[in-house]
A and B are shown apart, each in its own frame.
Chain A
Amino acid sequence: QQQVKQSPQSLIVQKGGISIINCAYENTAFDYFPWYQQFPGKGPALLIAIRPDVSEKKEGRFTISFNKSAKQFSLHIMDSQPGDSATYFCAASIRGDYKLSFGAGTTVTVRA
Chain B
Amino acid sequence: DTGVSQNPRHKITKRGQNVTFRCDPISEHNRLYWYRQTLGQGPEFLTYFQNEAQLEKSRLLSDRFSAERPKGSFSTLEIQRTEQGDSAMYLCASSLQVNTGELFFGEGSRLTVL
Contacts and interface: CB of A to CB of B under 8 A. Distances in A.
B75 interface: no
Interface string A68-112: 000000000000000000000101010101111111110000000
Chain B: number of interface residues, binned into ranges: 20 to 34
Contacts, number: 56
Contacts of B33: 99
A98 B43 contact: no
Interface of B: 4, 31, 33, 40-45, 48, 55-56, 91, 93, 95, 100-108
28 contacts: A4-B42, A32-B101, A43-B4, A43-B91, A43-B105, A43-B106, A44-B91, A45-B105, A46-B102, A46-B103, A49-B100, A49-B101, A49-B102, A97-B48, A97-B55, A97-B56, A98-B103, A99-B33, A99-B56, A100-B43, A100-B103, A101-B45, A102-B43, A104-B40, A104-B41, A105-B40, A105-B41, A105-B42
